[in-house]
Amino acid sequence: MMADCSFIPVCDFYHDRLKGMPVTAEFMKMEYCYRQPDSCAIYIVRKDGAKAMPGNLMPYEANRLGDSD
């Protein structure tokens, strides 16, 4: 198990997305921001040093990144 995501302070998903779906947002935050940040597509992009990412990228969309290994 990994520590909390180090990108929480700058993560648009964590702070702004899914405002109209608070239960879903909290579930996704628990899963991707706290339990498994290394499986979050946004974390993967940021960790790899990318300056830009798709604005609509969701944590569960690692498949959109292609080969992330």
Render pLDDT for 25-48 as a digit per residue (tens, 0 to 9): 999 999 999 999 999 999 999 998
Instruction: Tell me what pLDDT residue 32 has.
Output: 96
| Ramachandran class of 54: left when φ > 0, alpha when ψ lies in -120 to 50, beta otherwise | beta
Q: Could you tell me the pTM of the whole model?
A: 0.81
Instruction: Tell me what pLDDT residue 67 has.
Output: 57
Instruction: Tell me what pLDDT residue 18 has.
Output: 84
- The distance of Cα 6 from the centroid of its chain, to the nearest Å, equals 11
Going from N- to C-terminal start, the domains of the chain cover 8-65
Q: At residue 1, does pLDDT exceed 60?
A: no
68 versus 15: the higher-pLDDT residue is 15
